[in-house]
Structure 1
């Protein structure tokens, strides 16, 4: 019997900006409810940090593309 490889729950590298943003909003809402245990809250916080980082990657990439387009347009 083959076992499935366990994926890191904080691996967000395959998420689009919209997916990461939407999940981050859900994580924040769940944390704001305050009904989770400490362990659950810590896991949610870590997931939120990973999601925020992914969103930042997308935004920095978009900014770099815009700057490159402006530079080309100015030449």
Structure 2
């Protein structure tokens, strides 16, 4: 599933990033391919960071009443 038409979901981006790290760690990739993989990894990292920041901004915390039941939802205040 895609986040939109051109950007991968967080999970897909993380899977691709893990594959890139594995390939680079094995060292069986020529220099030009290594550079291209590294650049793609940087793009994926930035994309994941942006998705996480967006998710954090959307997190809400549940306010519980005296009986322990959820009674309201508040926006989480980020530091």
TM-score, normalized by length of structure 2?
0.68
Query: How many residues in Structure 1 have an aligned counterpart in Structure 2?
Result: 59
Per the TM alignment, residue 42 of structure 1 is displaced from its structure 2 partner at its CA by 0.1
Match of 2:54 in 1: 61
Structure 2: which 5+ residue stretches go unaligned? 1-5, 62-72
- The TM-score, its normalising length taken from structure 1, stands at 0.72
Greater fraction of residues in strand = 2
Q: What is the alpha-carbon distance in structure 2 between the residues aligned to residue 44 and residue 54 of structure 1?
A: 15
Unaligned residue ranges in structure 1 (runs of 5+): 1-12
Which residue of the partner structure matches residue 21 of structure 2? 28
Return structure 1 stretches of 4+ with deviation > 3 angstroms. Answer: none
